[in-house]
Structure 1
Amino acid sequence: MFRSANAINLDVKGRITIPTRYRQTLLDDCQGQLVCTIDIKQPCLLLYPLPEWEEIELKLSQLSSMNPHERRMQRLLLGYATEGDMDKNGRFLLSSPLRQHAGLDKQIMLVGQMNKFELWDADEWHKQVTEDKETEKLANFEASERLQDFSY
Structure 2
Amino acid sequence: MFRGTHRHSLDSKGRMNVPARFRDWLNAHCDGQLVVTIDAQSQKGERCLVAYPLPTWEKVERRIAELPSNNPAARQFQRLFVGQSEELRLDAQARILLSPNLRKFAELDKELVLVGQIDKFEIWDAARWDACQETWLSGADGFACLGDLVL
Counterpart of 2:52 in structure 1 is 48
Aligned mates of 2:59, 2:99 — CA distance in 1: 22
The aligned counterpart of 1:22 is 22
Cα drift, residue 15 of structure 1? 0.6
> Structure 2 unaligned runs (5+)?
none
Does residue 101 of structure 1 match 2:105? yes
Structure 2 CA distance, aligned partners of 1:62 and 1:135? 37
Q: 1:135 aligns with which of 129, 132, 139?
A: 139
Corresponding residue of 1:37? 37
Within-5 A mapping of 1:4-15: 4-15=4-15
Identical columns (%): 41
Which of residues 80, 84, 94 is equivalent to 1:90?
Answer: 94
Q: Please list every run of 5 or more consecutive structure 1 residues that lacks an aligned counterpart in the other structure.
A: none
- TM-score, normalisation: structure 1: 0.91
Q: Cα deviation per residue 1:12-57 (whole Å; 9 max; x = unaligned)?
A: 1101100122222111111001100001232000001100110110
**RMSD of aligned Cα (Å):** 1.5
Q: Which runs of 4+ in 1 moved over 6 A?
A: none
Task: Report the Cα offset of residue 59 of structure 1.
Answer: 0.7
Deviations 1:88-112 (A, max 9, x none): 1100010111000000010000000
Q: Which amino acid aligns with 1:97?
A: N
**TM-score under structure 2 normalisation?**
0.91
Q: 1:115 — aligned with what?
A: 119
**Distance in 2 separating the partners of 1:48 and 1:140:** 24
| Residue type of the alignment partner of 1:130 | E
Q: Distance in 1 between matches of 2:76 and 2:143?
A: 34
Structure having the higher Rg: 1
Q: Distance in 1 between matches of 2:127 and 2:148?
A: 32
